[in-house]
Amino acid sequence: MHSPQIGATIVGLLLFHGCSNENARPPAATPRPATTIAIAADLTPQVRPDTARLAPVDIIPQATLDTTRCAVTDTTPKNDAVTSIDSEELVALRTANDKASRVCGELRIALPNGRTAVFRDDTTAGEKFGLFRYAGYLRTIRSHIVHRYPYEGTGAFIVVDDSTGESRIVFGMPVASPDGTRFVLTSMAEEAGYDPSMIEIWRMVGRKPEREFSYDTESGWEASDPAWVDSVTIDFIKNSHSSAGDPYVETPGRITKSGTTWALVPAPTVTANPVGVWRGTSRCTQHPSACNDETVVYHITRVNTGDSLSVDARKIVNGQEDDMGVIGCHTVSGTQFRCPMPNGTWYFTVRRDSLVGELRLPDNSPFREIRTARSR
């Protein structure tokens, strides 16, 4: 089950309390790529030159970095979405080998010879709006990744060379190949349509990425969760649904390279075993409400037919498991199952040793989000 990134949508609208005007909402800040290269119905790939623009980055000598604002305390209240992306950055900064840090409200990436690449937030409502947050260091392609959150939409990612600071905008989080010669990314338009819907492969030419393969996925399915099987094979998830607002149904997808050609090929069937004990969290997604965040344990067994499951749901209270009830479920794919109830429907997906899910109310609005891991 694809789960949109927390805080990625309309971060700008929610940055400061009481400063948004829904009726005067400006357009999305992040442009779509200049070209999106489609693959013909026969799946023949089309290779085009890289047309993505370079990202402007301030490269500043260490001696001239501004520290005068460090004494100023920012007391502006921030909403949950911004707090969430700040927390995610703290985790990502641990991958930076002390080369990236947040100082004086700026994201700073140390480069050789005493230089620093500096990214500054712009909270001007509209197309100028951008929050820059560190997303990780990809050692095999020797690049830092910075996520630019726009006024609306998921935003763009900036690939920053760790030596020169030269940077390039791409439209999904890069996933580097095992040999460091390429990276793959996916982007989903989803219902809001702020972002492009595509899967792309970029080749490292020296220290510079050049787009090698691009496929517009808006017809029928959207791609997510790319993973390299080897240096010439990529598995990903195809997300589709029968109507807007419904949870996605996931099916496997695969791209492979033969000679100089990348092509979509049939993916191997993926099945997962939901049976077992799963422990994790159940968090509320509607605020305010009578919902409370919980630590949960799910005991899942098969019943009668092969596609029927029983979920014994419990929450942890004072260190003990407290029964919440047993619900009946049925599988909808090799990795997903659903559990209808009078007050809504649970949707679950098994991914290796994790079980993720959500509870949707009868009006299809999300009410709870589940994140659990298999208990050994």
Q: Place 55 in a pLDDT band, splitting at 50, 70 and 90.
A: low
Identify whether 288 is preceded by a cis peptide bond (ω within 30 of 0): yes
pLDDT at residue 20, as a whole number: 35
Written as one letter, the residue type at 1 is: M
pLDDT at residue 80, as a whole number: 65
Q: Is the pLDDT of residue 167 over 50?
A: yes
pLDDT at residue 315, as a whole number: 95
Least Cα distance to 109 among 122, 93, 121, 123 occurs for 93
Beta-ladder partners of 198 = 187, 216
Assess contact for 232 and 256: CB atoms under 8 A: yes
H helical segments located in the chain: 11-14, 80-92
**Whole-angstrom Cα distance, residue 107 to residue 116?**
10
Top pLDDT among 77 and 212 is at 212
Give just the sign of the alpha carbon dihedral 238, 241, 242, 244.
Answer: negative
Q: Place 74 in a pLDDT band, splitting at 50, 70 and 90.
A: low
Q: Is the pLDDT of residue 175 over 60?
A: yes
pLDDT tens figures, 341-375? 988 999 999 988 899 999 988 878 889 999 999 99
Least Cα distance to 163 among 113, 107, 97 occurs for 113
As a whole number, mean pLDDT of residues 240-247 equals 76
Q: Place 290 in a pLDDT band, splitting at 50, 70 and 90.
A: confident
Percent of the chain exceeding pLDDT 90 equals 49
Q: For residue 351, what are the CA distances in angstroms to 2, 245, 276, 331, 362? A: 11, 22, 14, 14, 26
Q: Place 38 in a pLDDT band, splitting at 50, 70 and 90.
A: very low
pLDDT at residue 117, as a whole number: 92
Assess contact for 242 and 219: CB atoms under 8 A: no
Assess contact for 116 and 130: CB atoms under 8 A: no
Q: Is the pLDDT of residue 336 over 70?
A: yes
As a whole number, mean pLDDT of residues 291-295 equals 93
**Whole-angstrom Cα distance, residue 78 to residue 58?**
26
Beta-ladder partners of 370 = 282, 357
Least confident of 76-90, 97-111, 310-324: 76-90
Q: Is the pLDDT of residue 229 over 60?
A: yes
pLDDT at residue 114, as a whole number: 87
What b-and-e string marks burial along 68-79, b requiring 16 or more CB atoms within 10 Å of the CB?
A: eeeeeeeeeeee
pLDDT at residue 220, as a whole number: 80
As a whole number, mean pLDDT of residues 318-340 equals 92
Could you please report the per-residue DSSP string of 183-219? Answer: EEEEE--TTTT-S--EEEEEEEETTEEEEEEEEE-TT
Top pLDDT among 26 and 315 is at 315
Least confident of 46-55, 112-121, 240-249: 46-55
3-state DSSP assignment of residue 145: strand
Q: Place 27 in a pLDDT band, splitting at 50, 70 and 90.
A: very low
**Whole-angstrom Cα distance, residue 8 to residue 148?**
10
pLDDT at residue 246, as a whole number: 76
pLDDT at residue 64, as a whole number: 66
pLDDT tens figures, 125-144? 877 888 999 999 999 999 99
Could you please report the per-residue DSSP string of 276-342? Answer: EEEEEEEEE-SSSSS---EEEEEEEEE-SSTTEEEEEEEEEETTEEEEEEEEEEEESSSSEEEEEET
Q: Place 257 in a pLDDT band, splitting at 50, 70 and 90.
A: very high
Q: Is the pLDDT of residue 59 over 80?
A: no
Written as one letter, the residue type at 282 is: S
What does the angle CA 244 – CA 245 – CA 246 come to, to the nearest 5 degrees? 95
Q: What domains sit in the chain, N to C, each tagged with a CATH number?
A: 11-265 (no CATH), 276-374 (2.40.128.20)
pLDDT at residue 33, as a whole number: 43
Q: Is the pLDDT of residue 7 over 80?
A: no
pLDDT at residue 68, as a whole number: 63
Give just the sign of the alpha carbon dihedral 154, 7, 144, 180.
Answer: negative
**Whole-angstrom Cα distance, residue 306 to residue 120?**
55
Top pLDDT among 231 and 334 is at 231
Q: Is the pLDDT of residue 291 over 50?
A: yes
Assess contact for 234 and 256: CB atoms under 8 A: yes
Beta-ladder partners of 234 = 228, 255
Q: In this structure, which long-range contacts are made by residues 156-160, counting pairs with CB atoms below 8 Å and at least 24 apart in sequence?
A: 156/30, 157/185, 158/55, 158/57, 158/119, 158/132, 159/183, 159/209, 160/57, 160/109, 160/117
